[in-house]
Copies of this chain bind each other. A is one copy, B any other.
Amino acid sequence: MAVLRADARRNRDLIIATAKEIFVESGLDVPMENIARRAGVGVGTLYRRFPDRGELIAAVAAQVFGSVLTDLRAARDEEPNAWEAFTRLVTRSEDLRVTWHLAFPSGRAWTMVHAAPESRDVHRDMMAALDELVRDAQAEGSIRADVGPGDVLILVSIVLGTHLASSDPAGQVRSERSLLLALDGLRAVPGSVLPGAPVSTEELGWSVAEGDFDNA
């Protein structure tokens, strides 16, 4: 991809930031023109940068994934153990909430993410880092052994994603309570006997896109 002129670059970043904001507020189906307007550009400019909605979603996703990956690595470096790093990531990372929001409402988002090399790559990196984090936490004994990183991902993403739009403080508290309950479920020993086998991150991928999250 060719280097963009400074002003074009600025525009691109502005659009991504604006889209992230609006996606969080109003979902992925918001009119393109609204995004353009809030970003202060014409629709034409938006479409020049992102030929269709899918590419815009993928670009937002790539940016957000990158940022989450950074957060995850920082947490891993700075926290004493994997569990602390995991909870810090999950409870503190704003972008993580966005990520799952993006991934949620229709699975459609995943199609787009996987179609764009840029976002697919950072997605893969993020998954790898998550694999390692979960494995470490299990080695520490702080995540139960009968779950896989895929299980962790699914449960956390569901909880984080669904609660995103809450704006009043009571809603924030309720979200946090749900999240902590879910985390307790991931630690529970002894816990229920789970059907099937631990879910790996590899198992997710496309299949995620095609069904599990389809509640558009």
State the A residues within 8 Å of B (CB): 26-27, 29, 101, 104-107, 147, 150-151, 154-155, 158-159, 161-168, 170-171, 173-178, 180-188, 191-192, 194-196, 199, 203, 207, 211-216
Contact = CB atoms under 8 A, between A and B. Distances in A.
Copies in the complex: 4
5 pairs of A and B residues whose beta carbons are closest in the complex:
A185-B185, A165-B214, A173-B196, A184-B188, A181-B185
Nearest to A196: B173
A168 B178 CA distance: 27
B165 A211 contact: yes
A150 B195 CA distance: 27
A215 B105 CA distance: 7
A157 to B, nearest CB: 9
A196 B214 CA distance: 32
29 contacts: A27-B106, A27-B215, A104-B215, A105-B216, A107-B165, A147-B181, A155-B182, A158-B158, A158-B163, A158-B178, A161-B162, A161-B215, A165-B211, A165-B213, A166-B212, A173-B196, A174-B199, A176-B195, A176-B196, A177-B194, A177-B195, A180-B192, A180-B195, A181-B182, A182-B182, A184-B184, A185-B186, A187-B188, A188-B188
